[in-house]
Amino acid sequence: MIELTLIAFLALAFLHICRRRVFAREGDFFDRSKDEQFAHKWGYADTRFEFDDDRTVHVTGTRYPLCGYQMPYFLPFVEEVLDLPIRPEDMGQEVEHRDLPAPIANAGFLDAVREVLSEDCASQEDHLRLTHSHGQLSVDEVYQILYHRPPERLVDVVLFPEGEADVQQIIHLANAHNAVLVPYGGGTNVSGALVVPPSETRLVASVDMRRMNRVVWLDEANLQACVEAGISGKQLEHALNARGYTSGHDPDSLEFSTLGGWISTNASGMKKNRYGNIEDIVLEAKLVTPTGEVETRHATPRNSTGVQPRSFLFGSEGNLGIITQAIIKIHKQPEAQQFGSLVFPSFEQGVDYLKALRQTGQIPASIRLLNNTEFRFGQALKPAAKGFKKVAQGIQRFFLFKLKGFDPKRVVACTIAMEGNKDEVGQQAKTIFRLAKKYGGISGGASNGKRGYMLTFGIAYIRDFFSQFHILGETFETSVPWTNIHEVIGAVAKTLSALHNKHGIPGKPYLAYRVTQTYHTGVCIYFTMGFCGQGLADAVGVYHEIERALRQEILDHGGSLSHHHGVGKLRRDFLPQIQSENSIAVLRQLKKAMDPNNIFAIGNGAFGN
């Protein structure tokens, strides 16, 4: 009787904790301050992982939920999944690049540009040329620059237009003087799209759009805003929030990526369910090309006016021209914001739940299903629990793993963000948690949901921490039909394991995945893969063989080439498998019509050699 009473008490205590899911209105998801960014790594220079001792780390600064506390579980978890020690003495030393190649000369272009632009709008400083010659592709770009060598070919000059007239002049002069232009937004690209082709012998100018960051006008009656393409997500939300609005676009790179970059890669955000992907948010945009502007006048809710030129912008990846501005939908800031989380016994049950939830029509702004590895990784990033929190965690674990019988090595979690008016959010919450019970789901509490959502903005800092130990890894995403989810995941896991063994790579490979978006016909799966390259004769070469094999497995089992990262140079060799020969030919003819002298010769996607 005493044991039954104790069990009942523990269960009630756990449920009381979990039911705190009607959450207070939340503040910012990201830090709005303007501070120095790392030159080549991700993010802000005041945010990085540091060792407290051999077994404990912390994150400096105050920007993110990860900051300001010791993480005693982090290194032990990583050592467990990689089967390798992580020691301070094994950290690599960053290379200082002093002797970069001299810029290619084109005096006619440079002199003409400096005549039409403001005094500080053109620079050939080496550090700017280097930072504008790469994105955030982990192994090929960031890891190589930090620990090996700079890119084989750098841009020769960096230009900073301050308005559309500047962009038009730059393009006109490049066309007249046979120079190459590369549009540059926030530098967060992960498809190799910013890499300058080594064979390019003409002067290459990076056109940094970030000074074009204004909201041109805001139409509250029609819920539209005209915005310059160089505005970052942080700047856009700051400007719209001040008027009581939001764009709703919330990618992981929100702090740094730009509106033009979102359009050119056909991006997606975490709150897609409520606000749409970027092609749903943008009503119209302007693309300036060497032969003139591509734009449809009068942004209307929908139209039927033949082939729409706006479609040339989405996924254009810098090949056709420069996006200068866009008219976007705006939304009133939500009356209510609520977070939540769910725990399921297995990934399969979580997927079944997501499919059933999609059919109800009560879809939250964001719902993401983490596999067991990602779930445990999130737990490992927490501080050591003390006092009541330690007791509460013990109760939770007892209830989950003892009473409910969940397997710690199979349990998965959903993080949930709901937005809207109070009634709408309340109804969503009822549907979400009631339906979860049918699939074995248990509420994990509001704080875990909020923390899981906000951790997204700190993930790339973790990548850069592990790069110091020559752990090579990257994320890659795909969209798949509902029926292919487990097949794709199984194929990727099997191939990764086989190739890891084939090359005699030390330790174990890391593979984590999550369902980040759901659709009527399927989902987006976001993978994270990595392994330790220490001691391998050609670690980068091995990495590329493995990564390409995993992408091929995804295609062979019904997945897409990309969901939102784009093609760039990283994935362009796969295009013939998903586009007909004539489709590619038509795209190339389109480029010739817009850019007959190949001024935008960055060579991404179908426009590569």
The answer to whether residue 34 scores a pLDDT higher than 70 is no
Task: Report pLDDT for 137.
Answer: 96
Q: What is the mean pLDDT of residues 416-433?
A: 96
Amino acid at 394: G
Q: Are residues 443 and 480 in the same domain?
A: no
User: How much is the pLDDT for 4?
Assistant: 36
The verdict on residue 396 lying in a domain is: yes
Asked if residue 115 has pLDDT above 90, the reply is yes
pLDDT at 3 over 60: no
List the beta bridge partners of residue 419. Answer: 337
pLDDT for residue 388: 78
Using the predicted structure, report yes or no on whether residue 31 has a pLDDT greater than 80: no
For the four alpha carbons of 255, 260, 265 and 268, in that order, the dihedral sign comes to: positive
Least Cα distance to 146 among 58, 39, 49 occurs for: 39
Q: Does the pLDDT at position 29 exceed 70?
A: no
Residues spanned by the domain of 387 = 2-21+43-72+335-459
Please indicate, yes or no, whether residues 245 and 162 belong to a single structural domain of this protein: no
User: Alpha-carbon distance 146 to 467, whole Å?
Assistant: 9
What is the domain-level CATH number for residue 518? 3.30.300.330
Q: Is the pLDDT of residue 13 over 60?
A: no
Say whether both 495 and 419 belong to one domain: no
Q: What total of structural domains would you count in the chain?
A: 4
Asked which of 440, 459, 478 is the last residue of a domain, the reply is 459
Question: Of 332, 352, 377, which residue is a domain's last?
Answer: 332
Considering the domain boundaries, does residue 583 fall inside one?
no
Query: pLDDT for 239-272, tens place per residue?
Result: 999 999 999 999 999 999 999 999 999 999 999 9
Q: What is the mean pLDDT of residues 177-194?
A: 98
243 and 130: one domain?
no
Residues 364 and 313 in one domain: no
CATH number of 254's domain: 3.30.465.10
One domain for residues 312 and 354: no
- Quickly list H helices, 207-258: 233-242
Q: Which of 353, 453, 513, 526 is catalytic?
A: 526
- What's 377's domain CATH number? 3.30.70.3450
Q: Of 164, 179, 210, which residue constitutes the final position of a domain? A: 210
Backbone angles phi, psi at 399, to 5 degrees: -65, -45
Q: For the full predicted model, state whether its pTM sits above 0.85.
A: yes
Ordered strands of the 204-208 beta sheet: 122-123, 157-159, 204-208, 180-184
Question: Is 353 in the same domain as 441?
Answer: yes
Residues 145 and 234 reside in one and the same domain: no
The answer on 321 and 221 residing in a single domain is: yes
241 assigned to some structural domain: yes
Distances (CA, A) of 307 to 296, 310, 311, 353: 11, 9, 8, 39
Q: How far apart are CA 354 and CA 290, in angstroms?
A: 46
Is 78 part of a structural domain of the chain?
Answer: no
Specify the residue for token string 């056109």.
Answer: 207
Between 92-101, 514-523, 535-544, the lowest mean confidence (pLDDT) is in 92-101
Neighbouring residues of 559: CB distance < 8 A, sequence distance ≥ 6: 478, 479, 480, 484, 488, 525
Q: Is 526 a catalytic residue?
A: yes
226 shares a domain with 198 = no
**CA-wise closest residue to 215 among 247, 186, 184:** 247
Where residue 1 falls among pLDDT bands split at 50, 70, 90? very low
Whether residue 354 sits in one domain with residue 290:
no
Identify the pLDDT of residue 30: 55
Annotate 358-414 with DSSP letters as a single string: HHHS---SEEEEE-HHHHHHHHHTSPPP-HHHHHHHHHHHIIIIIIS---TTT-EEE
Q: Are 376 and 77 in contact (CB under 8 A)?
A: yes
In contact, 249 and 278? CB cutoff 8 Å? yes
CA 407 to each of CA 74, 209, 382, 400: distance values in angstroms, whole numbers, following the listed order:
21, 50, 20, 9
Write down the pLDDT at residue 28. 54
